[in-house]
Amino acid sequence: MKILRTPDSRFENLADYPFAPNYTVIKTHDNSDLRIHHLDEGPADGPIVLCMHGQPVWSYLYRKMIPYLTAAGMRVIAPDLPGYGKSDKPAALEDYSYERQVDWMGKWLEQNDFSDITFFGQDWGGLIGLRLVVNHSHRFARVVVANTGLPYNPEVAESVVKEVENFRANAPTPTLPQMQKAISKMEGNQATMFAYWQKFCWESEDLPVGFMMSMMMEQPSVVVSAVKFLLHRAGMTSPFPTEIAKAYEAPFPNPSFKMGPRAMPSQVPTLPTSPSLEEQRLAWEFFDKFDKPFLCTFADNDPVTAGIEKQFFARIPGTKGLPHDTIKKGGHFVQENAPEQVSQAIINLIHST
């Protein structure tokens, strides 16, 4: 397996990221060495909070939450998924199956021997992390999730399956504005609208990660946004990059390093024909009986995951009786937009259970 490694120089002088790196080397299916990076902040004997990020970000996303959690005595472990951040980056599409990510992070977890964990996951961090809870349940004491899910859709209408598969195979690559418009309409039509994100990511060889994250998280004025979008359409991947744009683009020296963010949306099991369907069914069987604390901290303004928390409430016994506070104006990336609200929810859960 071909594996790329981002030079350390790419991470020099990042704003608000003073954290020391920690590395674990695991073996992949073909006996390759894969180096996974994580942060380890706070008191060594404090309760462990395992914070997992999604796509297309990395542990930089947790820089605002870490001070709140460590001030409350928590030990924060925040890994970078393979393909992201300071972790190694397998170079091929087939390297990024859902099951391989679960396997890689499971090996990382076992090798570090973390236990009595409070898990926090958002976006793909939830998809992968919840499967870690299933596979290594003895290591987890409680779960907190935000804007994520455990997708399992065995009964999508055949007409919808054909529509999505035809769109992904034959439609023109969506533009960035087209993709954003589709994502804003996801509630109630998830598989069809999410296909825009899948297709945009996979067919954008130089996926504009830094630019997208800056526009989502910083929400510049209408005039500034219009100028930046015009420059982006003219060929500038990241016009007038802010500190956030630079940080989220840092892991990717050139487009060849972006296979993880490009490939992983297509691995989300949104259809009955998706990979990992059986593994997701078994995961839900596990969570149908999961009675450890399971807290939802979803934002009130995230179109991508709106309403998904209802499935957790309906099926997971551990959700009962907990204060599932809605995160006000958290957007999709609550860690960036509402770090104090989310951190306090985690701290309260640990103290009360």
Q: Active-site positions?
A: 123, 302, 332
Tokens of 100: 């391989």
In sequence order, which residues have a C-beta less than 8 Å from that of residue 61 and are 6 or more positions away?
53, 333, 335, 336
341 — phi, psi (to 5°)?
-60, -45
**Whole-number Å distance between alpha carbons of 333 and 33:** 31
259-291 burial code (b ≥16 CB/10 A, e <16): bbbbbbbbbbbbbeebebeebbeebbebbeebe
Q: Which long-range contacts (CB under 8 A, 24 or more apart) does 134-139 make?
A: 134/282, 134/283, 134/286, 134/287, 135/102, 135/106, 136/106, 136/109, 136/110, 137/286, 139/109, 139/114, 139/115
CA-only gyration radius of the chain, Å: 19
Nearest in space to 313 (alpha carbons), one of 299, 298, 334, 301? 298
**Whole-number Å distance between alpha carbons of 250 and 30:** 28
**Whole-number Å distance between alpha carbons of 272 and 151:** 11
Nearest in space to 240 (alpha carbons), one of 215, 207, 261? 215
Element at 306 (helix H, strand E)? none
Contact 279, 128 (CB under 8 A): no
The label of the residue with tokens 């103290």 reads 351
Contact 65, 37 (CB under 8 A): no
